[in-house]
Structure 1
Amino acid sequence: MTAPLVLDIDGTLTRADGEPGIDPAVFEPLREWPEPVVIATGKAFPFPVALSQFVGLPERVIAENGGVVYAEGEMTVVGARDDAEAAVADLRERGYDLGWGEPDLVNRWRETEIAANLDVPEAPLRAVAAEHGLEVVDTGYAYHVKDPEIGKGDGLIAVADLLDREPSSFVAVGDSENDVSTFEVAGESYAVANADDAAREAADHVTDGVHAAGALEVLEQIR
């Protein structure tokens, strides 16, 4: 029996062979999925919107780890990036930068958080974030400096309401600690085999396949 889906991008829909980018094998199954598909990511809002448009999905997205939500023509932005910018300013005063170079396309369109490259020393980043009442979430692709009160799970609750669905009707698939709040809200959750410890421990199931192969495995199981 099919169910609405909430899917992470990086580490979940990406190529299992280690090459960069989304695995095109997911495009047709997602486009043909008979229930709503929600893309939930730590990326800035334009990225999941563009993915939805290129795949041919209705634009139902949770971006910036729950900071930006869009579905059924309604957009909600929770919080602002002011505190994160202040933390980054302090980080730079201590001799560090975000590690993206210029132009910084990772953060250019962010509204509620700031992401740092994984090459940035973690301890100073976490220290300065804590001083500003923020948390650092390691997605395996970037460090996200964000409000600890905002999460993807909150975004799923908001999207489910717009779709007139219960959050517990969704099946969630992800790979990282930023997916844990989604797993806690969704009715059933899967961590792909490459997931970090936090996601694996929070998920109801762990797939045999890694990355997109794991996501496709879930689709086959619940079809």
Structure 2
Amino acid sequence: MVPPLVLDIDGTLTDAQGRLDPRAFEYLPSWEAPVVLATGKAFPYPVSLCHYLGLEQTVIAENGGVVLVGGEVSYAGDRDAAQAAADEFVSRGGDLGWDAADTVNRWRETEIAVSLDADEELLREVAASYDLEVIDTGFAYHVKSHGVEKGAGLELVCETMAYDPTDFVAIGDSENDASTFRVVGQSYAVANADDVAKEAADDVLEKSYMDGTLSVLESLSES
């Protein structure tokens, strides 16, 4: 039997340009075990992806800040503090880096994401003054509460599902996947992963992006 999966999206199910790899539609809908999507993106993104892939909507969004399992949504993290930090960052000359629509944060409920072009030193200084942390996912800086992590989100998912975190295989590419890697039974970092993810993973793959992910899925299907 194939194991349940917990999969990052950006950098893991995408190509180098950030586009969803169409092969996800070939492999994931027919996976004979639960597939949990765990991402730093706002809640609507993984929910929509589950819908279009035909997967049960079990998701970990906003780096563990929002968890959907069994039709119930749970929240962790202090969005008000993150917003206050973002406001102070801007007042001190920082720039969140998004346009007026700010679709990056418009539906975000537990944290604030800031462009990688922003003043990282100032952002971290301001976040620390609000007792918040900043993580670099390779796509944005995320200002969030301490202890809110994808790994904690998976543990919450497993309180509802008939699985233990160690039953899962995880694939990811970023600092925000390290907490997931620490709680699952087997973890893989795709070749394009950052150093934090590579150090936390059980194995670092030779291939990048969806090519790396597929190498794991194909191996698990054959074993």
Alignment partner of 1:10 is 2:19: no
Extract unaligned runs of 5+ from structure 2: none
Correspondence 1:78-117 to 2 at 5 A:
78-117=76-115
Determine the structure 2 residue equivalent to 1:52: 50
Q: Quote the sequence identity (%).
A: 57
Extract unaligned runs of 5+ from structure 1: none
Q: Tell me the distance in 2 between the aligned counterparts of 1:67 and 1:175.
A: 19
Alignment partner of 1:187 is 2:185: yes
Q: Contact 2:8–2:37 at 8 Å: present in 1 too? A: yes
Q: How far has the Cα of 1:209 moved from its partner? A: 1.0
Q: Tell me the distance in 2 between the aligned counterparts of 1:57 and 1:219.
A: 16
Of residues 66, 69, 72 in structure 2, which corresponds to 1:71? 69
Q: How far has the Cα of 1:42 moved from its partner? A: 0.4
SS at match of 1:146: strand
SS at match of 2:31: coil
Of residues 130, 133, 136 in structure 1, which corresponds to 2:131? 133
Of residues 139, 142, 154 in structure 1, which corresponds to 2:140? 142
Root-mean-square deviation (Å): 0.9
Q: How far has the Cα of 1:135 moved from its partner? A: 0.6
Q: Where in structure 1 do 4 or more consecutive aligned residues deviate above 2 Å?
A: none
Deviation string for 1:151-187 (max 9, x for gaps)? 0000000111211210100000000000000000111
Give the TM-score taking structure 2 as reference length.
Answer: 0.97
State the aligned residue count.
221
Q: How far has the Cα of 1:79 moved from its partner? A: 2.8
Q: Tell me the distance in 2 between the aligned counterparts of 1:80 and 1:34.
A: 36
SS at match of 2:60: strand
Q: Contact 2:11–2:18 at 8 Å: present in 1 too? A: no
Q: Tell me the distance in 1 between the aligned counterparts of 2:195 and 2:169.
A: 20
